[in-house]
Structure 1
């Protein structure tokens, strides 16, 4: 389950980063809410059914801001409505675990991976970065195949009335 930033937010970040090798492609940039690992085809339908029952969080606005690293991995951080995103992520995780899925149990540190190769210039660019805000309109169930991401299903973020 993931959130994909709006195109203008991705392009803004791309323009802010130095042109170096090793950056992941902006169309792949996303914030992972729950990582399931290998799931057979019938399992994705089951996961989608479980996610159908998770109430949407309502309107959330995010922006990419700051950054950091996990070893050699460089990432952009998040600002904005991070608390409701974290609460929604916990609802998603709990629902999937309750349905028998093995969800990555590490603490949630919302981020967007921009490179798997450390580069000091990229790290410095991310440190002071503050991108434009965007409204989260949907959450997507994503499958990774041969390094490409495919949106299998999406759910609307919800409205203020749905909270």
Structure 2
């Protein structure tokens, strides 16, 4: 099963960003589904069912800094053209949480850019709407282990 560990912003935070993007005129680009909006802390890739108990044990030991304030702010782009990914940035200290999760799970330590993917295609209107965006702050209330099934969506297996 394909797994990742993520933070899910509250509904009001997602609504605020979606409103900013659609009010900005983002009508010709397909936004990612709001119910899937998340900030990935670590991508595990394919994990066997036999390894799942080990993964959950390691995540049991993670110290989640509950109450740490986060905010969607600004944005950027990975890649170019049709392979571009547009994202909203995340303000707040997720670096330590990322290192703890990635270290415990033995995930390769790549450069961590906390972000929330909003579209899988470049669009100047979306980029402009993200420029200077500062959404409502919210307190971190936990992390989730998520299963991703391409074409079907996400299932939260467990939350901490």
TM-score band (shorter)?
A: 0.7 to 0.9
Deviations, residues 84-108 of structure 1 (Å, cap 9, x unaligned): x2111101111111xxxxx243211
The 4+ residue runs of structure 1 with deviation greater than 3 A are none
2:98 to 48, 70, 89: 89
SS in 1 for 2:143: strand
2:85 to 60, 70, 73: 73
Which sits farther off after the overlay, 127-136 or 3-12? 127-136
1:151 to 148, 153, 156: 156
Question: Residues 104 and 29 of structure 1: is their aligned pair in 2 closer, same or farther, counting only changes over 3 Å?
Answer: farther
The size of the alignment, in residue pairs, is: 147
SS in 2 for 1:51: helix
Deviations, residues 121-143 of structure 1 (Å, cap 9, x unaligned): 00110112111111111100011
- TM-score, length-scaled by structure 2: 0.87
Residue segments in structure 2 that go unaligned for 5+ positions in a row: none
Deviations, residues 17-65 of structure 1 (Å, cap 9, x unaligned): 1233321001101000000011112222221111111222232111101
Q: Tell me what 1:161 maps to.
A: none
Quick one: distance in 2 between partners of 1:115 and 1:78?
Answer: 16
Residue segments in structure 1 that go unaligned for 5+ positions in a row: 98-102, 156-163
